[in-house]
């Protein structure tokens, strides 16, 4: 495979930006009108995801291990997207779906590369696409042996903690095996859109999962305003490998949360409580005390001794929970943003740090911590920007504009 030619043409193609993605989908829906209903009505976010995933594939096409892992994972995850047969019954993605997408891709490259699109380059692209499509189909077939295409999850209870924040629990029809700190694609069937939400609890024996959502767009506002006990949601394969590698060492842990970015960090704290009871500090920031919507659960967690304490002799006190607000009438606790308070509680030189919050909060916290002497490689963050396919998020973590934990739309 002529990787240099593929990369060079990809770079030239990228100059077209969103126009190319629009053309790709317009072509796909002309080739296969029946594919239109598989995609959301508003294609704005999907367009960015397709481009970034394709870019990743092309730049790794000579790295067999990386390409195989990425494409097989993407194929396994694509099992949650269903096509339809002639009678309108749902069918899993098959080879013919990939042929449509491949034809639309080649037509789009031809359109935007103009005279640079030679028969030799066409053959390179066709071969690279076929390789990826085969890997995706193999990944899907292999995943079929270990996990369902998606989980159907019934809403067990819903609590509105504030006008714009709800906490709810679901019970999936099969055990959904995720790691603390990971996220799951979630669909409200009547909205036909998938968004990523992070479990707020360590995996439980009964399989129930708690989610925290702040109303910020159509999807999250629907959950906050309309979700009821007994509603059905769909869950896809768990993703994310940054926050979930919290156990890469046994150094003390500092968890810094803003808004509903608390969810994955609470899951991590619960897992620590159930495991070694490693010394952990959890700083949760809000503008006012009203923003601390999960205060009671966190106080209870801090008062629970680690499960392993009978062995290690360590008692309570493994978790130091520090709520902090920027202003609050008669507030007795810490004052300042989560980042400022975390720095004040330092130094954190030999500590693993996990940060999760809005883009601004994440940026501010990382800057404050690194200026105070925390080595950047000790800080773990994850991006679930809706315009980015999450397994690509680690690469984007260096670009803080992509963080949008509190902005599930
Ligand atoms: C090389 C081939 C392909 C690549 C690189 C690719 C890439 C992607 C990516 C990265 C996403 C976003 C996933 C997420 O954020 O959770 C996505 C979503 C999706 N893909 Fe693909 N895909 C490919 C083939 C296909 C095919 C053959 C079909 C079926 C015709 C398909 C249908 C969909 C659908 C329906 C979505 C969800 C859209 C939404 O609800 O936002 N994809 N794809």
- Assign 3-class secondary structure to 173-220: CCCCCCCCCCEEEEEEHHHCEEEEECCCCCCCCCCCEEEEEECCCHHH
Q: Which residues line ligand 1 (CB under 6 A)?
A: 35, 38-40, 46, 49-50, 53-54, 74, 78, 81, 93, 97-98, 100-101, 132-133, 136, 185, 193-194, 389
> Does the pLDDT at position 394 exceed 60?
no
| Residue scoring higher pLDDT (310 or 33) | 33
CB 233 within 8 A of CB 187: yes
Rounded Cα gap, residues 352 and 253, in angstroms: 5
Rounded Cα gap, residues 201 and 194, in angstroms: 21
Measured in angstroms, how far is the CA atom of residue 127 from the centroid of ligand 1?
19
Q: What is the mean pLDDT of residues 306-313?
A: 65
Domains of the chain, earliest start first? 3-143 (1.10.490.10), 151-235 (2.40.30.10), 243-402 (3.40.50.80)
**CB contact burial 321-350 (16+ within 10 A = b; e otherwise):** bbbbbeebeeeeebebbbbbbbbeebebee
What is the structure's pLDDT at 21? 87
Measured in angstroms, how far is the CA atom of residue 124 from the centroid of ligand 1?
22
Element housing 254 (H / E): strand 253-258
Tens of pLDDT along 133-161? Answer: 999 999 999 999 999 999 999 999 999 99
At 386, the pLDDT band (50, 70, 90 cuts) reads low
Structure pTM? 0.90
Of 250, 246, 262, 279, give the one whose Cα is nearest residue 354.
246
What is the structure's pLDDT at 15? 87
CB 367 within 8 A of CB 343: no
The DSSP code for 239 is B
Index of the ligand 1 atom closest to the CA of residue 71: 5
What is the structure's pLDDT at 384? 60
């Amino acid at each position: 495979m002529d990787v240099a030619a593929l990369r060079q043409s990809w770079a030239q193609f990228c100059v077209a930006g969103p126009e190319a993605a629009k053309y790709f989908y317009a072509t796909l829906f002309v080739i296969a009108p029946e594919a239109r209903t598989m995609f959301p009505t508003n294609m704005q976010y999907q367009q960015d995801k397709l481009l970034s995933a394709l870019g990743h594939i092309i730049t790794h096409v000579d790295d067999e291990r990386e390409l195989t892992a990425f494409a097989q994972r993407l194929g396994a995850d694509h099992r949650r997207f269903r096509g339809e047969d002639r009678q309108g019954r749902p069918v899993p993605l098959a080879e013919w779906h990939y042929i449509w997408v491949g034809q639309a891709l080649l037509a789009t490259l031809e359109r935007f590369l103009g005279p640079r699109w030679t028969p030799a380059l066409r053959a390179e692209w066709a071969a690279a696409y076929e390789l990826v499509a085969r890997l995706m189909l193999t990944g899907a077939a292999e995943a079929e042996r270990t996990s369902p295409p998606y989980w159907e999850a019934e809403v067990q209870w819903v609590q509105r903690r504030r006008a714009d924040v709800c906490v709810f629990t679901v019970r999936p029809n099969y055990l959904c095996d995720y790691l603390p700190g990971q996220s799951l694609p979630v669909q409200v069937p009547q909205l036909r859109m998938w968004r990523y939400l992070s479990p707020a609890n360590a995996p439980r024996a009964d399989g129930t999962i708690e989610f925290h959502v702040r109303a910020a767009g159509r999807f999250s506002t629907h959950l906050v305003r309309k979700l009821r006990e007994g509603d059905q949601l769909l869950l896809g394969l768990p993703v994310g490998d940054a926050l979930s590698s919290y156990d890469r060492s046994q150094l003390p842990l500092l968890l810094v949360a803003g808004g509903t970015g608390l969810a994955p960090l609470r899951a991590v704290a619960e897992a620590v409580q159930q495991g070694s009871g490693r010394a952990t500090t959890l700083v949760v920031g809000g503008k006012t005390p009203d923003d601390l919507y999960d205060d009671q659960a966190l106080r209870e967690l801090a008062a629970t001794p680690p499960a392993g304490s009978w062995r290690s002799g360590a008692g309570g006190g493994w978790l130091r929970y520090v709520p902090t607000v920027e202003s609050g009438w008669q507030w007795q606790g810490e004052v300042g943003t989560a980042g400022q308070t975390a720095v004040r509680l330092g130094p954190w030189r030999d500590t693993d740090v996990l940060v999760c919050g809005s883009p601004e909060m994440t940026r501010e916290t990382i800057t404050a911590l690194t200026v105070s002497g925390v080595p950047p490689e000790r800080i773990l963050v994850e991006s679930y920007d809706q315009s980015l396919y999450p397994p690509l998020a680690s690469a984007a973590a260096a670009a803080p504009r992509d963080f949008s934990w509190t902005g599930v739309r």
